[in-house]
Amino acid sequence: MSDVQTPAIGIDLGTTNSCVAVVLNGRVEVIANEMGKRITPSCVAFTEEERLIGHAAKYQAIFNSKNTIFDAKRLMGMKYHDENIQNRIRLWPFNVVESSGHPRFRVQYKNEMKDFSPEEISAMILQKMKAIAETYIGSPVKDAVVTVPAYFNDSQRQATMDAGKIAGLNIVSLLNEPSAAAIAYGFNQKKGMRQNVLVFDFGGGTFDVAILSITENDFEVIATSGDTSLGGSDIDERLVVHFIEEIKKKHNKDISDKEIKVKNEEDSSKILTKLRNACERAKRNLSSSTQSEVLSESLFDGIDFRANLSQTRLTKLCSDLFTKTINIVEAVLESSKMGVDDIDEIVLAGGSTRIPKIQELLQGKFNNKKLNHKIHPDEAVAYGAAVYAASISSDKTIENIKFVDVAPLTLGINVLGNLMSPIIPRNTKLPATVMKKYVTTVDYQSGVDIKVYEGERLSSDENNLLGEFSLENIQPAKKGIPQIEVSFVVDMNGILTVTAEDTATGRNEEIVIRCNKGRLPKHEVERMITEAKEFQKEDDKKEKLRAARHELETLCVEVKDLISEQRDDDLENLELDNFWGVYTDTEEWLDEAEQATEEEYRSRYDALVEVKERMVSN
Ligand code: AMP
């Protein structure tokens, strides 16, 4: 007997949508969910009875807007008081509260108030993607490559790893989203020659640009940049704010005021959800026509909302966001020391690249060079992640790929004068190990505090503090004499370990940066893993119930057809009347069986299957 190895899957854990893919027998399969859709909304809802994930959550959002969470990725590894988060809270229909500086989603679930961390919500989405893959593959999945925005910082990456842990997944590697898109583009391209490819990845919540040098299945990231709070949702928010103002002017009502109660029991949350959905629809329509309408039936006070939206207006409202994407492209070109003519292909990924103005600006930047639409903007990231997952798990059915990524941000420590001393500059190839020596600044100093930062500013305070630790009992001496060696090691996932050593005594301290700011404490993660398992049990129970009902319904159809056929041949057969009685009785029971248990479905099934067998043997 030999072990059947379950393949590792690739998951694109997106802000708006998620997607899962796997390599089976050398072929990359982007897997459809239970609705037959290859992308699943990154949406989780809590109701009086159950938890819903994906389409089921999205479809009920307007009836349960306070308890339907989306955009959770935007809060991963973030602090509650971050300005970006505070600006968004006003426009989200759900509640975000603070817990020890971290943001938490506050919902009503089974008639109780409950707080969930962004990691837990992301874990629920990961669990869903895992389940979609397991249904397709037919066996349990353990290992996964999960993608993150290239510009995600250490805390955001750590938070994603925690989400994987909570979901019961072994994340074998994180992979940057534009790198995954580049793999999807370049995999199996038998060109032989080296190509410089710029990936422009503009999704629902994040924006990334990467320049890669690709030779067959050899991928090397040269430079990367981005904005982890820039995506399609920002465009939607601009539209929402614009129409909130229009409504204020026209109807003298502030629908963003979360305290308002209006007619028909509609509160602000529901109105905001409806308006946001209408804006998003209009925005999408504008990618294929110059005019569109924002339509929402009975938006508030029974008023049907209807407003024109042109491409020109959309561009005006979002022009700074659009320009920002081009500025970032320019920054990446500069970092990679390349000019526009050095780029052989411009590859688009992410749903927001469908916006015509974005394409026009990008094309204009590259002297009207044709943009490459070869990869699927919604599926390429999961596709590339699946190829990478297969490659690193030594799947013999695909060609191995060689992959080198870079650190997205400069990493360093705070030194005298509140200055950041860079140790690993951004765009350094990973994995990377760099050691730098520092000396003390005070006579007979007994210890040093090491504060680790990431970012590009000269002053430490303006960068992002990742963590801090102290090295005590260093050998007493005049300032400038004791030498402290500080080593930074960044692994392939972009996760940093820092060591400091007093060269005289050999005393050392080491920390994996567990960001004091963004990271969940270990005991919290353990608790969340246990809770996630409970959720999984409930989901499994629901799934079994659904399957039992489905089997009984299918059997009813078969038995009904069999009785009809046999009736045609044998009008006098009285036994058929009995069979018909059992069948109709089962159908009636099914109509009423909302609360039935799995056992009850099974026992009804057994009774009906006996009828079927008797008919077949007659
Ligand atoms: P992704 O994260 O790649 O799934 O992208 C999702 C984002 O793409 C959402 O903000 C969508 O509103 C946006 N999007 C999808 N299709 C279109 C379209 N046709 N035009 C404009 N934006 C779109």
Give the domain ranges of the chain.
Answer: 9-230+319-404, 232-317, 411-513, 522-617
DSSP code at position 503: T
Answer whether 156 contacts ligand 1 (Cβ < 6 A).
Answer: no
Answer whether 40 contacts ligand 1 (Cβ < 6 A).
Answer: no
Please state the separation of Cα 337 from the chain's center in Å: 31
DSSP letters spanning 401-454: -EEE-B-SS-EEEEETTTEEEEEE-TT-BSSEEEEEEEE-SSTT---EEEEEEE
**Does 143 participate in catalysis according to the annotation?**
no
Q: Tell the CATH topology of 232-317.
A: Actin; Chain A, domain 4 (3.90.640)
Q: Which of 120, 177, 266, 502 is catalytic?
A: 177
Please state the separation of Cα 521 from the chain's center in Å: 22
Answer whether 284 contacts ligand 1 (Cβ < 6 A).
Answer: yes
Q: Which of 58, 66, 73, 165 is catalytic?
A: 73
The mean per-residue pLDDT over the stretch 230-254 comes to 93
Helix axes 598-617 and 575-592, enclosed angle (nearest 10): 160
pLDDT tens, residue by residue, 199-219: 999 999 999 999 999 998 899
Asked if residue 431 has a cis previous peptide bond (ω within 30° of 0), the answer is yes
Instruction: Domain 411-513: state its class.
Output: mainly beta
So what's the pLDDT on residue 513? 62
Q: Cβ of 363: how many Cβ atoms within 10 Å?
A: 14
**Does 177 participate in catalysis according to the annotation?**
yes
The mean per-residue pLDDT over the stretch 488-516 comes to 80
Comparing 3 with 387, which gets the higher pLDDT?
387
Q: Tell the CATH topology of 522-617.
A: Substrate Binding Domain Of Dnak; Chain:A; Domain 2 (1.20.1270)
* SS percent in the chain: helix, strand, coil, step 5: 40, 30, 30
Expressed in angstroms and rounded, the spacing between residue 17 Cα and the centre of ligand 1 is: 9
The structure's pTM equals: 0.84
Name the token pair of 308: 């024109």
- Closest CA to ligand 1's atom 21: 284
Is residue 381 scored above 50 in pLDDT?
Answer: yes
**Does 218 participate in catalysis according to the annotation?**
no
Q: What is the distance between the alpha carbons of residues 333 and 427, in angstroms, rounded to a whole number?
A: 12
Q: What is the distance between the alpha carbons of residues 394 and 219, in angstroms, rounded to a whole number?
A: 17
Q: Is residue 157 within 8 Å of 495, Cβ to Cβ?
A: yes
- Closest CA to ligand 1's atom 22: 352
Name the token pair of 254: 């502030």
Q: What is the distance between the alpha carbons of residues 343 and 366, in angstroms, rounded to a whole number?
A: 9
Comparing 577 with 144, which gets the higher pLDDT?
144
Q: Is the dihedral of CA 95, 96, 98, 104 positive or negative?
A: positive
Residue to substitute in 16, 39, 360 for testing ligand 1 pocket (most ligand atoms within 8 angstroms of CB): 16
Amino acid at 426: R
Do strands 9-13 and 143-148 pair parallel, antiparallel, or not at all (unpaired)?
parallel
Answer whether 455 contacts ligand 1 (Cβ < 6 A).
Answer: no
Instruction: Domain 9-230+319-404: state its class.
Output: alpha beta
Answer whether 287 contacts ligand 1 (Cβ < 6 A).
Answer: yes
Is residue 232 scored above 60 in pLDDT?
Answer: yes
Residue to substitute in 285, 352, 354 for testing ligand 1 pocket (most ligand atoms within 8 angstroms of CB): 352
Q: Which of 71, 154, 162, 201 is catalytic?
A: 201
Q: Is residue 11 within 8 Å of 385, Cβ to Cβ?
A: yes
pLDDT tens, residue by residue, 110-156: 999 999 999 999 999 999 999 999 999 999 999 999 999 998 888 89
* Alpha helix stretches (DSSP H) within 138-231: 154-166, 177-186
Burial class (CB in 10 A: 0-12, 13-18, 19+), 300: buried
**Does 561 participate in catalysis according to the annotation?**
no
Expressed in angstroms and rounded, the spacing between residue 345 Cα and the centre of ligand 1 is: 22
Residue 92 dihedral angles phi and psi, to the nearest 5°: -80, 140
- Closest CA to ligand 1's atom 8: 351
